Chain A
Amino acid sequence: MKQRPVYLDLPRIRLPLPGIISILHRLSGALLFFAGIPLLLYGVAGSLASPEAYAEMKAGFAHPVAKLVLIGMIWAYLHHFCAGVRYLLLDIHRGIELEPARRSSAVVLVLSLALTLILGVRLW
């Protein structure tokens, strides 16, 4: 195999904004896999049993720590969703020039954080 230069000095790598969106896409995806899916299944399964179980689940998720975790999951879902839509658009060659690509990464970052903030405030 051809030897290619590898530059992996992590503290010195400065990712451009689209790179940050990309690594956050991975991070949020892994987060959803390990915590998001089980929480979703746990929440839905637990809340369907009876009105009491529903109220209990609601009370459980009202705990500050649970709320923080939930807000984290909301961010992960929203970021993954928004960045995913961006990738789908890039796939059909929308916004692939450098400037639009940078702008759309900023939109993804800000939009998912803003929506998380709105939902987080409502939840709290």
Chain B
Amino acid sequence: MTRRHAVGAHYGLMDWLIQRLTAVLMAVYTLLVLAIVLWNGGIDYALWTELFAHAGFRLASFLFMVALLYHAWIGMRDILMDYVKPAGMRLLLETVTVVILFAYLGWTLQLLWGQA
């Protein structure tokens, strides 16, 4: 019989998978942006604004950021689980991490659709 703790491994596989899927999504977006920049032989203000004026690019950027923030959550939680053993301190740091992640999300939304 296996003894299970309150924080078991049951959610681990799903997070492991999401970490990989978000990584692939971000890699595709990165290569896409790189391809756009190389195709246009560099970047200037005109191309930059034209890119963000495009609704499709804004949506792709939003998906990239959501993937990034979820990916970052899994990674940061892994780091905290490995190095911060006292439960209270770990919970505090995890909470701080989540607050920061939501702040980043708010900033992203404001930047993508705030002024439009």
Contact = CB atoms under 8 A, between A and B. Distances in A.
Interface stretch (A9-17, A47-55, A99-107): A47-55
A38 B104 CA distance: 7
Nearest to A30: B79
B23 A47 contact: no
A81 B27 contact: yes
Contact of B49 (A38, A48, A84, A88): A48
Given A54-B45, A88-B23, A88-B24, A48 B111 contact: yes
Contacts of A41: 104, 107-108, 111
Interface residues of B, number: 21
27 contacts: A1-B3, A26-B79, A29-B75, A29-B79, A30-B75, A33-B75, A33-B100, A37-B68, A37-B72, A37-B104, A38-B107, A41-B108, A41-B111, A44-B52, A45-B107, A45-B110, A47-B45, A47-B48, A48-B49, A48-B52, A48-B111, A51-B45, A54-B48, A55-B45, A85-B27, A88-B23, A88-B24
Interface of B: 3, 20, 23-24, 27, 30, 45, 48-49, 52, 68, 72, 75-76, 79, 100, 104, 107-108, 110-111
